[in-house]
Structure 1
Amino acid sequence: MLYAQTRPADKRAALRSRLSSGEILRFPGAFNPLSARLIERKGFEGVYISGAVLSADLGLPDIGLTTLTEVAGRAKQIARMTELPAIVDADTGFGEAMNVARTVQEMEDAGLAGLHIEDQVNPKRCGHLDGKQVVDEYTALQRIRAAVDARRDPNFLIMARTDIRAVEGLDAAVTRAKRLVDAGADAVFPEALTTLAEFEAVRAAVDVPLLANMTEFGKSGLFTVQQLADVGMNIVIWPVSLLRLAMGVAGRGLDELMDAGSLAARLDEMQHRAELYELIDYEGYNHFDSSVFNFTLPPA
C-alpha cells in the first residue's frame, strides 16, 4: 500500500550488486508511476525515467526545456512507487559543474538509484536527432567530476553519457568513454551507436558497466537483449517504448470513438478494471480503511 517498502539506499546497493554480477539488466522506461509498478509486476530488473518522456508528459519537445525541479519531482513520484531501482536521465545536469552537483543531491533525495549526465551543449537535443553539439573534453569531464564529488551515498550510480559518436565518429566516442571513466564515472552510456560492432568497440575500451539504448525510430538497430548481452552490455533501456505504445492505442481509440461513437470494439485492448484495481492494490487500501475506522459511536 502507498509507496515502496525498499529504502532508496537498499535499491542502490542492490543495483550495484547486480551490475557486478555480469548479467544484463532490463530497464523499460516508465511514463508515469503506475507504469513503473507494472514494469516491476512483469518481472524486469529496473525502471528507467527518460528525459524525453518527462518532456513529452508536459507536451514539450526534448530540447532542454524541463527544469531540475520538474524532473526531480516527477522522478520521485515514479521511483517511490516500485521496489525496483530507478535510473533517471538528468540531461546535462541542468547547467555546469555546480548545477550538476546540486542535481546529484536532488536525485539522491528523490530516491533514485542513479542518473546519467551527458556531454551535449546546453540546451541539449534528443540523442537521436541530427544537429547535436557536444562540449569540449574539459567541460565533459568537469561535469562528471562534480557529480562524483557531490554524491553522499557511494552506491548512487553516476553514469556518463556521451553523444559524440554522432558528431565526431566512433573513435572519438571510444576516446571520450575512456576519459569519462578516468574522471570517475561508474558506468558509460554511449548514445546513438549504430551496430553491434560499435557496442563491442566501446566494450573493449572500458571496464565499467555499459548501457545500450534501444529506442525506436532512432539511429541504433533494435537489437535483442541476448544480442546485447553477447557483446558485453550490462543495462538495456527502452526509454520511450511504453509511452509510444500507450499513445498509439489511445490515438486509435479516439479514432474509433469519433467514427463509431463507442469503444465496445476496443475492449480487448484495454486494461480491465480488475487488473487496474489489483495493480493499484485497492484491497490493501480497503483493509487499511477497515482497520482504522472499525469503531462505533456510543449511544447518545
Structure 2
Amino acid sequence: MLSTSVTPNEKRKALRAGLASGTLQRFPGAFTPLSAPLIQQLGFEGAYISGAVMAAELGLPDIGLTTLTEVAQRGREISRMTDLPTLIDADTGFGEAMNVARAVHELEDAGVSGLHLEDQVNPKRCGHLDGKEVVPLDHAVQRIAAAVAARRDSDLLIMARTDIRGVAGLEAAKDRAKALEAAGADAIFPEAMATLEEFAAIREAVDVPILANMTEFGKSALFTHQQLQDVGVNIAIHPVSLLRIAMGAIERELGVLAETGTLEGAVERMQTRARLYELNDYAAYSAFDEGVFDFEVPGRLIGGAHG
C-alpha cells in the first residue's frame, strides 16, 4: 500500500545483478504509474520510463521540451508503484555538466534505479528519425563523466546512449561506445541498430552491458528476446508500446461512441473495476483506514456539545 517496500538501493543492486546474470532483462515502458504493478505481476524484470512517452502525455513532440522537474516527478510516481528496478530516460541531461549533475541528484532522489544520457545536440529528436546531430566526442564524454562524479549512490546505473550510428555509421558507434565506457558508463545504449549483427558488433566492442531499443516503427526490426540474448544484449526496452496500444484502443472506442452514442458494446474489452482495484491495492487502503479510525477520539463533539 502507498509505496513499494523495496528501497531504491535494493532495486539498484537488483538491476546490476540482472544485467550481470546472462539472462536478458525485459523492461516494458510504464506509461502510467498504474501500468508499473501490471508489468511486475506479469513477470518482467523491470520497468522503463520513456522520455518520448512523457512528452507525448503532455502533448509535446519528443525534442527535449520536458523539464527535469517533470521527468523526476514521473520517475518518482512510477518507481514507488513497483518493487522492480526502473530505468529512466534523462535525454541530454537538461543542459551542461552542472545541469547533468543536478539531474542525477534529482533522479536519484526520485528512486529510479538507473538513467541514460544521450549524445545528441539540443534540440534533440527521436532516435529513430533521420536528421539527427550528435555533439563532439569530448562533449559526450563530459556528460557521462559529470553524471558518474555526481551520483551519491554508487549502485545507481549510469548508462550512455549514443545516436551516432544514424549519423556516421557503425564503426563510429563502436568507437564512441568504447570512449563512453572509458568515461565511466556502466552500460551502453546504442540507438537505432539496424541488424542483429550490429548489436553483436557493439557487444564485442565493449565490456559493459548493452541495451536494445525495440520500439515500433523504428530503424530496428522487432527482434525477439531470444534473438537479442543470443547476440549478447543484456536489456531490452519496449518504450512506447503500452502507450501505442492504449491510444489505439482509445481512438477505436471513441469512434464507436461517436457513431453509436454508447460504449455498451465495448465494456467486455475494458479493464474491470475489480481489476483496477487489484492494481491500485484498494483493499489495503480500506483496511488501513479502518485500522486507524476504529477508536473513539477523546473530547470529540457529540450531538453539538462536548462529551
Q: Fold conserved (TM > 0.5)?
A: yes
Partner of 1:232: 232
**1:131 matched residue in structure 2:** 131
Q: Distance in 1 between matches of 2:242 and 2:138?
A: 36
1:39-188 to 2 correspondences below 5 Å: 39-188=39-188
Cα deviation code 1:254-291 (max 9, x no counterpart): 00100111112112221111111111111111111111
The residue aligned with 1:289 is 289
Give me the identity figure in percent.
66
Segments of 4+ moved more than 4 angstroms: 296-300
Within 1, Cα distance between the matches of 2:280 and 2:147? Answer: 35
Query: Which AA in structure 1 matches 2:25?
Result: L
The match for 1:219 is 219
In 2, distance between residues paired with 1:271 and 1:221? 31
Give the letter aligned to residue 104 of structure 1: V
- 2:21 match: 21
Query: Which is higher, the Rg of structure 1 or of structure 2?
Result: 2
Query: Which residue does the alignment assign to 1:207?
Result: 207
Q: Which amino acid aligns with 2:269?
A: E
Give CA-to-partner distance per residue, 1:69-115, whole Å, 9 cap, x none. 11111111111111111010000001111111111111101101010
Post-superposition Cα deviations, 1:244-263, rounded to whole Å, max 9, x if no partner, equal 00000000110010011111
For structure 1, which segment, 288-297 or 100-109, has the greater mean C-alpha deviation from structure 2 after superposition?
Answer: 288-297
Alignment TM-score, normalising by the size of structure 2: 0.96
Deviation at 1:295, TM superposition (A): 2.2
State the SS of the aligned residue for 1:277: helix
Q: Residue deviations 1:21-61, cap 9 Å, x none?
A: 12110000011110111111111100000000000110100
Whichever residue aligns with residue 92 of structure 1, its letter is T
The 1-side partners of 2:106 and 2:54 are apart by: 17
Whichever residue aligns with residue 215 of structure 2, its letter is T
Q: Which moved more, 1:158-167 or 1:275-284?
A: 275-284
The one-letter amino acid of 1:181's match is E
Structure 1 alignment gaps of length 5 or more: none
What per-residue deviation string (whole Å, max 9, x for no partner) do you get for residues 149-170 of structure 1?
0011110000000000000001
* Offset, 1:296: 4.3
Q: Secondary structure of 1:125's partner?
A: coil
Q: Distance in 1 between matches of 2:87 and 2:35?
A: 15
Give the equivalent residue in structure 1 for 2:256.
256
State the shift of 1:16 in Å.
Answer: 1.1
Range moving further from structure 2, 15-24 or 132-141: 15-24
Instruction: Note if 1:275 corresponds to 2:275.
Output: yes
Q: What is the CA deviation profile of residues 158-185 of structure 1, one whole-angstrom value per residue up to 9, with x for unaligned ones?
A: 0000000000001100110011001110
Which residue is equivalent to 1:38? 38
Give the aligned residue type for 1:263: L
Amino acid at match of 1:162: T
Q: Which amino acid aligns with 1:85?
A: P
Between the aligned partners of 1:143 and 1:296, the Cα distance in structure 2 is 58
Question: How many correspondences in the alignment?
Answer: 300
- Where do 5+ consecutive residues of structure 2 fail to align? none
The TM-score, its normalising length taken from structure 1, stands at 0.98
* One-letter identity of the residue aligned with 1:143: R
CA RMSD of aligned residues (A): 1.1
Matched, 1:195 2:195: yes
Q: Secondary structure of the residue that 1:159 maps to in structure 2? A: strand
Structure 2 CA distance for aligned equivalents of residues 150 and 276 of structure 1? 39
* Separation in 1, partners of 2:66, 2:268: 36
| Cα separation, 2, equivalents of 1:223 and 1:269 | 28
Of the structure 1 ranges 254-263 and 287-296, higher mean CA displacement relative to structure 2 is found in 287-296
Post-superposition shift, 1:189? 0.2
